[in-house]
Amino acid sequence: MPNKLFALALAAAAGISLARADEVKPDAPPAPANEATKKTTVDINDVRQFAAVFALVKQAYVEPVDDKTLLQSAVKGLLANLDPHSEYLDEKAMTELSEDTTGSYNGLGIEVLTVEGVLRVVAPIDDSPAERGGIKAGDTIVRIDGKPITSENASEASNLLRGKAGTQVTLGVVHEGASAPVDIKLTREPIRVASVRTRWIEPGYVYLRIAQFQEDTGGEVKRKLAKLRDKSQPVKGLVLDLRSNPGGLLTSAVEVSDDFLDSGLIVTTKGRLKQSDLAFNATRGDLIDGAPIVVLADNGTASAAEIVAGALKDNHRALIMGRRTFGKGSVQTVLPLDETHAIKLTTARYYTPSGVSIQAAGIQPDIELGDLKLVARDTPPSYITGERDLPNHLKGDSERDGAAEKPLSQRGNTEDYALSEAMNVLKGLALQRKPAPAAAEKKG
């Protein structure tokens, strides 16, 4: 196919408006062009240049490459250069996307982004091979099975993290703050992301962990909180743990936010297309009847998790504790091309109820915490802290009944400094809270 005809065919397929130099009369005055026309018009020479590169690669590349492969590579490159989240989805990628939203696949359990030719870890999934192997949010993967990751192969390299259960892979990982990579050998396994976990931290105080926002996350939150409340006393306070939560579905984030709000704006989205401009508002009913909430967040709290954190913070429903969040303030839409191919395209930015975009900025916590760890003491202190430390002291009622307060290391918060601090704040908020006159309407 001649270059000119080939270029025109490509342009037509892509819906590009061409300024055809060979169809403009030399003595004709230039046609008026508004700003929109200037931005969307591509000169025929630009398309010819693409066609020339296409032809040169096809003719001179060291190994033969078919037209279909070259065109798909061109499409992938077009999307990859827009932003880190827009991409071309072939049949395999479509399957992986479906697995992510349902929470079931074979792999390492790790969320990554391609950044400057390397794979940056957004967050490992709870109780996955990646987390057990010591991979953390902010780490960088520079090698897979000894093969360096470059800007040319980074997108394909991320696919190597998944594979048949039982197979091994060695990752070269640079931990945040380190200067050299370490090799971490991991075994792929079936990953079933437990989206929601709940437990009592101590009487009256609930721990709610959301690992990822999947299709049924909102329903899981309702069911698991209802199950807890059927067996115990009313909730005095709740710790919502969104640390290392890489995000997921916007609709699930809206539903979870609504679970703890009686009213108010949750999130708005704004894009170039009219259908991208949306606003989501809370409906009446709070699952914990207004009990105080502390949200734990860190650098791995991203996307949909940031929507929840922002909604609860801006509506003065929760305090955010921890570290600045990841800062992914954009919305991606899957646009099908045919039954097995699609593009995932960034179509909007989202804004917290106060009208702020957190894109690249993240959400600053109300109370900032260092990345510290609690260490249980093996031996009691050598100094006296009270009557109970004196030899042969008279036993108190609580000691005789075995009801003395347990040390922190025996209350389920071992080594979790952030959770320990969250509980201290939550108890203070619970003490300040005025009893509600009546229970709010429950959401179904």
Report the catalytic residues: 303, 314, 328
Identify the residue whose tokens are 């190994």.
63
DSSP 8-state symbol, 138: T
Dist CA 285 CA 258 (whole Å): 8
Dist CA 139 CA 175 (whole Å): 5
Dist CA 292 CA 429 (whole Å): 6
Dist CA 99 CA 97 (whole Å): 5
Dist CA 390 CA 228 (whole Å): 40
Dist CA 36 CA 91 (whole Å): 35
Identify the residue whose tokens are 């980074």.
154
Here the tokens at position 224 are 């698991």
Sign of the Cα pseudo-torsion (93, 94, 96, 100, in order) = positive
DSSP letter string, 324-372: ------EEEEEEESSSS-EEEEEEEEEE-TTS-B-TTT----SEE--S-
Dist CA 414 CA 130 (whole Å): 21
> How many residues appear in the chain?
444
Sign of the Cα pseudo-torsion (371, 376, 382, 385, in order) = positive
Please, are residues 307 and 378 in contact by the beta-carbon 8 Å criterion? no
Count other C-beta atoms under 10 Å from residue 401's C-beta.
9
Dist CA 307 CA 305 (whole Å): 5
Count other C-beta atoms under 10 Å from residue 261's C-beta.
24
The rounded Cα 253 to chain-centroid distance in angstroms is: 11
Here the tokens at position 359 are 């894109």
Orientation of helix 44-60 relative to helix 67-80, angle to 10° = 130
Dist CA 14 CA 50 (whole Å): 13
Count other C-beta atoms under 10 Å from residue 365's C-beta.
21
- β-pairing verdict for 293-297 and 318-322: parallel
Nearest Cα neighbor of 113 from 358, 300, 284 is: 300
